[in-house]
């Protein structure tokens, strides 16, 4: 079981390489009852910090619905993953009392400050599901997005953004930023943390922030994902 998150700030942590390169931005806990991604990001940031290997570019770990995460609930007033699209208008009458609009504004401010370095930027949104399910990736179907997930051995589900009303990843995709959603499995399962860890390493290697050799205990990050049991 993964416990709820108590101490959390918007920027969970970041890692910056000596060599210039892309910004990889990982969001976790957009839903407050999905702490697995946060545990996985903290784990990876610790590993990157403690070994002296080279790193290209910048990795950022960003917390989603902080108020909801602290209470372990999916959201406070509105689902933070349903208020991004078709546009970013926030009704003035709701701005001050709907907690998620404050979270959204805060996230956008941080994102703008990261984009200020002018590097190519990739967004990853880490989620889990209420029932036991096999991990899957979802994207808005663009060439940019397809290029990133090419050869990643995880099921791809397209059209999710047409079923969901206003998810964050499709909003970023519309902005022209490659954006990938990853569902790691059930909310409380330790395997969901492990699947997130495998996915994050895989993306860091795929976008050449690290060499495959830097993946602890496994030189082929794709093997980590290939070994995820199917159909669970
Ligand atoms: Zn979610």
What CATH number is attached to the domain comprising 72?
3.40.630.10
CB 28 within 8 A of CB 41: yes
- How remote is the CA of residue 95 from the centroid of ligand 1, in Å? 23
Structural domain contains residue 66: yes
- Angle, alpha carbons 106-183-28 (nearest 5°): 25
Mean pLDDT of the chain: 87
- How remote is the CA of residue 54 from the centroid of ligand 1, in Å? 32
Structural domain contains residue 165: yes
Confidence class for position 21, pLDDT limits 50, 70, 90: very high
- How remote is the CA of residue 127 from the centroid of ligand 1, in Å? 4
Among residues 201, 230, 228, 224, the alpha carbon closest in space to that of 55 is found at: 201
- How remote is the CA of residue 47 from the centroid of ligand 1, in Å? 25
pLDDT(162) > 80: no
pLDDT at 151: 79
pLDDT at 139: 87
- How remote is the CA of residue 30 from the centroid of ligand 1, in Å? 6
pTM assigned to the model: 0.91
- How remote is the CA of residue 31 from the centroid of ligand 1, in Å? 5
Mean pLDDT of 164-180: 87
- How remote is the CA of residue 39 from the centroid of ligand 1, in Å? 15
Mean pLDDT of 78-107: 84
pLDDT at 219: 55
Q: Residues whose CB is under 5 A from ligand 1 (ion)? A: 31, 34, 127
pLDDT at 231: 46
CB 129 within 8 A of CB 232: no
- How remote is the CA of residue 53 from the centroid of ligand 1, in Å? 32
Per-residue pLDDT of 60-79, as tens digits, reads 999 999 999 999 999 999 99
The length of the chain is 232
- How remote is the CA of residue 193 from the centroid of ligand 1, in Å? 14
Question: Which range among 18-27, 91-100, 175-184, 223-232 has the greatest average pLDDT?
Answer: 18-27
Structural domain contains residue 3: no
Domain count, the chain: 1
Range of the domain at 57: 11-226
Structural domain contains residue 2: no
Mean pLDDT of 110-123: 96
pLDDT at 221: 55
Structural domain contains residue 1: no
- How remote is the CA of residue 171 from the centroid of ligand 1, in Å? 15
Structural domain contains residue 6: no
Structure tokens at 55: 């790193």
- How remote is the CA of residue 18 from the centroid of ligand 1, in Å? 33
Structural domain contains residue 23: yes
Structural domain contains residue 159: yes
Q: What are phi and psi of 108, to 5 degrees?
A: -65, -40
């Amino acid at each position: 079981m993964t416990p709820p998150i108590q101490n959390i700030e918007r920027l969970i942590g970041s890692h910056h390489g000596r060599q210039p390169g892309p910004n990889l931005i990982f969001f976790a806990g957009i839903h407050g009852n999905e702490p697995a991604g946060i545990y996985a990001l903290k784990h990876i940031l610790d590993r990157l910090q403690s070994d002296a290997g080279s790193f290209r570019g910048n990795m950022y770990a960003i917390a989603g619905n902080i108020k909801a995460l602290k209470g372990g609930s999916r959201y406070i007033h509105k689902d933070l993953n349903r208020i991004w699209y078709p546009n970013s208008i926030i009704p003035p009458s709701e701005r001050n009392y709907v907690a998620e609009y404050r979270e959204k504004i805060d996230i956008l401010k941080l994102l703008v400050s990261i984009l200020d370095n002018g590097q190519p930027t990739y967004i990853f949104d880490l989620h889990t599901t209420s029932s036991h399910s096999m991990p899957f990736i979802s994207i808005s179907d663009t060439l940019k997005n397809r290029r990133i997930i090419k050869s990643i051995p995880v099921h791809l589900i397209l059209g999710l953004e047409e079923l969901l009303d206003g998810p964050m990843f499709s909003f970023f995709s519309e902005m022209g930023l490659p954006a990938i959603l990853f569902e790691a499995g059930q909310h409380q399962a330790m395997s969901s943390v492990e699947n997130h860890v495998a996915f994050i390493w895989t993306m860091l290697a795929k976008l050449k922030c690290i060499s495959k050799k830097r993946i602890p205990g496994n030189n082929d990050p794709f093997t980590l994902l290939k070994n995820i049991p199917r159909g669970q």
